């Protein structure tokens, strides 16, 4: 880990020493800027019992720039596109250097429990989700 920014070292050590329940994040041995992430589908969600692999990349500008995160496991979610890209405001315009890797992962885990219908990335999935969730909105 020599030669890396102190912040990345501290965050990596924290992720390994204090794992977030339901989330496993480990840096690749060959490049500590890349993390292999596994998130368990949250209980009481459509994804309960599932296991989802993600890739997290810390850009050179981190923490001034948000991490790049995408699902490697195919997932049918209104805020995730077919390439696994995630529509989450803290990964874009709401990013703050005060946020950390574990915070980002917690937000992604929360997104699995509660999709954001106001900002769908996969409109077809969002329509199906709305129809499934609110039977009174179906046209018969």
Residues acting as catalytic residues: 87
Phi-psi sector, 22: left (phi>0), alpha (psi -120 to 50), beta: left
125 and 77 Cβ atoms separated by less than 8 Å: yes
Burial annotation 72-107 (CB, 10 A radius, 16+ → b, else e): eeebebbbbbeebbbbbeebeeebeeebbbbebbbb
Is 10 strand, coil or helix?
helix
- Name the strand (E) or helix (H) holding 52: strand 51-57
Report the DSSP beta bridge partners of residue 70: 55, 85
* C-alpha 130: how far from chain center: 22
């Amino acid at each position: 880990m020599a030669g890396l920014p102190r912040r990345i070292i501290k965050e990596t050590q924290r992720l390994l020493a204090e794992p977030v329940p339901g989330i496993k994040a480990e840096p690749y041995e060959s490049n500590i800027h890349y993390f292999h992430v596994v998130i368990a589908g949250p209980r009481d969600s459509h994804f309960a019992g599932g296991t989802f692999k993600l890739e997290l990349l810390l850009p050179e500008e981190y923490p001034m720039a948000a991490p790049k995160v995408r699902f490697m496991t195919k997932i049918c979610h209104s805020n995730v596109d077919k390439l696994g890209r995630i529509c989450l405001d803290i990964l874009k315009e709401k990013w703050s250097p005060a946020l950390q890797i574990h915070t980002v992962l917690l937000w992604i885990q929360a997104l699995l429990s509660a999709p954001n219908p106001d900002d769908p990335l996969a409109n077809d999935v969002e329509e199906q989700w709305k129809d499934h969730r609110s039977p009174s909105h179906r046209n018969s």
